[in-house]
């Protein structure tokens, strides 16, 4: 159980519609609530699944959602239009655009369509005022260039979800006013460089997440991740930033409320 003296914690990025969790969502959410995780954002990565993700958010207080086309699926899915995303954003529990981005680890051959999809999502973030949720893997240079180019065209807010890229992309993102989100990877013993990037970032620009069902932090590494485990990452994050656990929770939750303003308390 959570210490009732500790502030609320938010899991800013999870995937509760994935088959790993079929039929278990009420129990998962209850376990998260029991350790002080009061709100979660579940992310739709393929647009044909948006109705199911929306229904999940509607069914649970404290659960919000975002939708977009994951870059690894950009060549498989019909590209969504700016207008379609803007229409979805009218829903009271729709709080972010994405996840979108660039992933050259397995899908570098679709780089051009990934970039086209990313720019569409950026324009939707501009028009709605909702934060863009970015996935970036093995694409630091192109990601920094596109985000910089697009920000010159018109400002938008953004979080670099599950940040594991290098210090240069972090610098570009932070200079643009964006946020970095800490996942369970930051709690792995060998993730010293990632913890150093977060320790050097402004305190008011850091979020925390699970990316459940992936990337479970110790002591659950290698197992299915779930929103309650964000409490473990928060403890390691607090150490890395030189904060108490209570200070880390309060800071990251305040940051979440500022960025994800539709889901704010």
Q: How confident is the model at residue 2 (pLDDT cuts 50, 70, 90)?
A: low
Find the angle CA(30)-CA(33)-CA(39) to the nearest 5 degrees: 110
Which residues define the annotated binding site? Answer: 13, 15, 99, 135, 161, 211
Q: What is the mean pLDDT of residues 222-246?
A: 97
Q: What is the mean pLDDT of residues 133-139?
A: 98
Residues 6+ apart with CB under 8 A from 3: 36
Q: How far apart are CA 175 and CA 164, in angstroms?
A: 17
Q: What is the mean pLDDT of residues 40-66?
A: 98
Beta strands in the chain (DSSP E): 9-14, 37-44, 63-67, 94-103, 132-137, 158-160, 179-182, 206-208
Cα dihedral 175, 180, 205, 263 in deg (nearest 10): 130
> Is residue 260 pLDDT above 60, yes or no?
yes
> Is residue 1 pLDDT above 70, yes or no?
no
Do β-strands 158-160 and 179-182 pair in parallel, antiparallel, or remain unpaired?
parallel
Q: What is the mean pLDDT of residues 18-28?
A: 96
Q: How many angstroms separate the Cα of 77 from the Cα of each of 17, 27, 259?
A: 18, 32, 28
Percent of the chain with pLDDT over 70: 99
Tens of pLDDT along 196-233? Answer: 999 999 999 999 999 999 999 999 999 999 999 999 99
Tens of pLDDT along 56-94? Answer: 999 999 999 999 999 999 999 999 999 999 999 999 999
Q: How confident is the model at residue 5 (pLDDT cuts 50, 70, 90)?
A: confident
Domain covering 9-263, topology: TIM Barrel (3.20.20)
**DSSP secondary structure code for residue 81 in this structure:** P
Which residues define the annotated binding site for a divalent metal cation? Answer: 13, 15, 99, 135, 161, 211
Tens of pLDDT along 152-168? Answer: 999 999 999 999 999 99
Helix (H, G, I), strand (E, B) or coil at 54: helix
Q: What is the pLDDT of residue 93?
A: 98
């Amino acid at each position: 159980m959570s210490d009732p003296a500790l502030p609320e914690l938010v899991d800013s990025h999870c995937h509760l519609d994935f088959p790993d969790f079929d039929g278990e969502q009420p129990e998962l959410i209850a376990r998260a609530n029991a350790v002080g995780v009061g709100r979660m954002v579940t992310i739709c990565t393929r647009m044909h699944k948006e109705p199911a993700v929306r229904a999940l958010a509607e069914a649970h207080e404290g659960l919000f959602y975002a939708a977009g086309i994951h870059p690894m699926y950009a060549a498989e899915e019909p590209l969504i239009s700016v207008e379609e995303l803007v229409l979805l954003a009218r829903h009271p529990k729709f709080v972010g655009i994405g996840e979108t981005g660039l992933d050259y680890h397995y899908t570098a051959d679709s780089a051009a369509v990934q970039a086209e999809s990313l720019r569409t999502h950026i324009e939707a973030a501009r028009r709605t005022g909702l934060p863009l949720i970015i996935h970036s893997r093995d694409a630091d240079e192109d990601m920094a260039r596109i985000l910089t180019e697009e920000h010159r065209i018109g400002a938008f807010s953004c979080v670099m979800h599950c940040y594991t890229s290098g210090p240069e992309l972090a610098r570009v993102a932070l200079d643009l006013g964006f946020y970095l989100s800490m996942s369970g990877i930051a709690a792995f013993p060998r993730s010293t460089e990632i913890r150093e990037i977060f320790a050097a970032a402004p305190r008011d620009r850091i979020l925390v997440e699970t990316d459940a069902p992936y990337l479970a932090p110790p002591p659950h590494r290698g197992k299915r991740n779930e929103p309650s485990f964000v409490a473990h990452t928060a403890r390691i994050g607090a150490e890395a930033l030189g904060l108490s656990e209570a200070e880390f929770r309060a800071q990251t939750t305040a940051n979440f409320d500022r960025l994800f303003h539709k889901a704010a308390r």
